[in-house]
Amino acid sequence: MLADLMAGAKEDALGRLAGRPAAVVEAAAVDAPPAIDALAALAPADQVKIIAEVKRSSPSRGALADIPDPALLASLYEQGGASAVSVLTEGRKFGGSLQDLEAVRAAIRIPVLRKDFISLPYQVFEARASGADLVLLIVAGLDQATLSSLHELVVQLGMTPLVETHSADELARASDIGARLIGVNARNLSTFELDQHLFGSLTDRFPADAVKVAESAVLRAADVAAYRRDGADVVLVGEALVTGDPVATLEQFLGATA
């Protein structure tokens, strides 16, 4: 599944490249207003922090929510106390787009993550040109040289890479490239199975100075509290927020560890 998602996202990016040359997107990326310091916004604190996701559908769950106005949803996330907003820009399985990212960026003041299946520098330039402050890099989908060069490019453009892992080996690869914001995704990207204990089993493998992000498998406040007990600085939540009342759910989740 991950290979298919990576291949589809690459094909779509190459399609966009045919209509909007790399030089144009690179210039737009350089000219964009500076990125917000997401590492500071997500730094460890007394309370757990939440990255709230704009997620219409997914391969594992199908349709989740229509979300006709992603900017409005993102504003509610900000109002509810989210520290950053994740926008799924993949179109085939998640129903997202760069237009969603741009609308969200224009509506809020907290950092915005481009969550996609990134394998090309062009996608990183697109992210910055569309106003992203963070870019997701999935270790399992990239060889080490590509992971390292994309990570460097994200940093060069003033953004923060969120480096996603699923195992001790992948955490070591994230550590080797100097990643400072590292996620463990509870969702197995091949089988879609969720393992909420994976994060806790890997907590002591994070580099000492890394911000620890627990991704997926949060449906209730108790799930946030469990991740916090396991050492999460940040949790990334999609489904629970797009299928419920976003402000009330965020307040409940943030209250879970207060």
DSSP state of 194: B
The residue among 25, 11, 38 whose CA lies nearest residue 119 is 11
Any idea how long the chain is?
Answer: 258
With CB under 6 A, what is the number of residues at the site for ligand LARABZUK? 21
- Give the residue, chosen from 105, 141, 239, 256, that forms a contact with ligand LARABZUK under the rule CB under 6 A: 239
Q: Which stretch binds ligand LARABZUK (CB under 6 A): 17-25, 167-175, 196-204, 214-222?
A: 214-222
The residue among 250, 252, 214 whose CA lies nearest residue 42 is 214
- Would you say 159 and 38 are in contact if contact means Cβ atoms under 8 Å apart? yes
CA dist 196 and 187 (Å) reads 8
- Would you say 169 and 177 are in contact if contact means Cβ atoms under 8 Å apart? no
Q: Which CB sits closer to ligand LARABZUK, 29 or 236?
A: 236
Q: Which CB sits closer to ligand LARABZUK, 25 or 70?
A: 70
- In the complex, least distance from residue 199 CB atom to ligand LARABZUK, rounded to whole angstroms: 11
Taking CB atoms, the residue at the shortest distance from ligand LARABZUK is 238
- Give the residue, chosen from 218, 224, 226, 234, that forms a contact with ligand LARABZUK under the rule CB under 6 A: 218
Told to check if 60 binds ligand LARABZUK by CB under 6 A, we report yes
Q: Which residues pair with 236 in a beta bridge?
A: 51, 215
DSSP state of 255: H
- Give the residue, chosen from 12, 53, 78, 126, that forms a contact with ligand LARABZUK under the rule CB under 6 A: 53
- Would you say 209 and 180 are in contact if contact means Cβ atoms under 8 Å apart? yes
Under the rule (CB under 6 A), what is the footprint of ligand LARABZUK?
1, 5, 53, 55, 58-61, 185, 187, 189, 192, 215-218, 236-240
